[in-house]
Amino acid sequence: MKIAILDDFQDTVRTLECFEKLSAHDVLILNEHIEDIQVLSQRLQGVQALVLIRERSFITAELLSLLPELKIIAQAGKTGRHLDLQACQAQGIEVFETQGTSVANAEFTLLMVLASLRNFPQEVANMQAGLWQKSIGRQLHGRTLAILGLGRIGEQVARAGQTLGAHILVWGRESSKNKAQRNGWHFATSREEFFSKADVLCVLLRLSPQTTHYVTASDLALMKSDAILVNTARAEVIEAGALYTALKLGRPGFAAVDVYEQEPVLSHRHPLQELSNCLCTPHLGFVERDNYENYMSQAFDHINSRATVMIKSA
């Protein structure tokens, strides 16, 4: 079977232990991101199985129509708006999801929180420039860690923050409220309380039609001038352009962002990269070797299973 793996930016997949599972197949790995549908379809001619790493490429009805031999799509993670499931069904393409854990994302979110509080990137840059201790950081202990969306990742971040002595403040749906109450964490009485009391606010909502542009410019204007906003969920959860404007106005005073409306972000083309009070990272939340082994192992097992069935039925 001819298999293509898209958007393996770090050329990591071939180094995974589970890659051996594809030894009997013809495997094409694309390390560069290709947006042009005509170019991508040419590269994928003859491909029967496609492996997608999260939502890095949009698989549209137009692209699928140019791939008549495609029979299987194995999604590393959950399917979403990047994959036209209706078009897949119409073309008889089987789609498989893989199950991951929230550990890597939660760890990375906490890393962003602590790096922002302690001015870590700035001080590394200062030392590279021959300077010494040019800023003074703050600790998380005793401060209010606000969690927007108390799902699996949100709960892990909240627990870690509580362990470090933070006061946990939660906002979200009824399920978040119930979980907060079970854990003894304060669920804000209003959006105004949530945004205005946060010292560090972590956006951890799953993107959906209901959560698109959930955080508005008015919400951000309520934040403290020394507050930090961390977004490791999805860029579209925040109203378009609102965070850039808010940071320019100084409320919140700092942001750490790992997600963008269009990815990958190349050649310093995102406005947030212009700001000295914003730490930008290239969507690293789930990018971790154990995560890849887990996702890819499941994806490759799905492909091998279907390949066996296809051979028997041929």
Tokens found for residue 53: 């790493």
State pLDDT tens for residues 250-259.
999 999 999 9
The answer to whether residues 193 and 44 belong to one domain is no
The answer to whether residues 118 and 142 belong to one domain is yes
The answer to whether residues 63 and 170 belong to one domain is no
Query: Are the C-beta atoms of 187 and 180 separated by less than 8 Å?
Result: yes
Total domain count, the chain: 2
Query: Are the C-beta atoms of 86 and 64 separated by less than 8 Å?
Result: no
Give the chain's mean pLDDT: 96
The answer to whether residues 211 and 137 belong to one domain is yes
Cβ contacts of 283 within 8 Å, gap of 6 or more: 258, 259, 260, 263, 264
The answer to whether residues 169 and 189 belong to one domain is yes
Residue 306: per-residue pLDDT: 86
- Among 94, 97, 263, 288, the active-site one is 263
- Among 54, 143, 283, 302, the active-site one is 283
> Does 128 have pLDDT greater than 70?
yes
pLDDT tier at 193 (50, 70, 90 boundaries)? very high
The answer to whether residues 147 and 83 belong to one domain is no
> Does 85 have pLDDT greater than 70?
yes
Query: Mean pLDDT, to the nearest integer, of 206-210?
Result: 93
Instruction: Name the least confident of 74-88, 150-164, 192-206.
Output: 74-88
Query: Amino acid identity of 154?
Result: G
Instruction: Name the least confident of 63-72, 103-112, 260-269.
Output: 260-269
> Does 65 have pLDDT greater than 80?
yes
Residue 311: per-residue pLDDT: 63
**Torsion angle of alpha carbons 207, 213, 215, 218, nearest 10°?**
180
- Among 234, 270, 302, 306, the active-site one is 234
State pLDDT tens for residues 267-284.
888 999 999 999 999 999
Q: Decide if 33 is catalytic.
A: no
The answer to whether residues 210 and 156 belong to one domain is yes
The beta strand positions in 131-189, using DSSP E, are 144-148, 167-171, 186-187
Residue 71: per-residue pLDDT: 96
Residue 267: per-residue pLDDT: 86
CA nearest to 7, candidates 59, 84, 46: 59
Range of the domain at 265: 103-280
Q: Decide if 302 is catalytic.
A: no
Q: Which residues on adjacent β-strands are paired with residue 95?
A: 73
The answer to whether the peptide bond before residue 271 is cis (omega within 30 degrees of 0) is no
pLDDT tier at 310 (50, 70, 90 boundaries)? confident
Query: Are the C-beta atoms of 201 and 223 separated by less than 8 Å?
Result: yes
The answer to whether residues 114 and 43 belong to one domain is no
The answer to whether residues 219 and 235 belong to one domain is yes
Q: Decide if 283 is catalytic.
A: yes
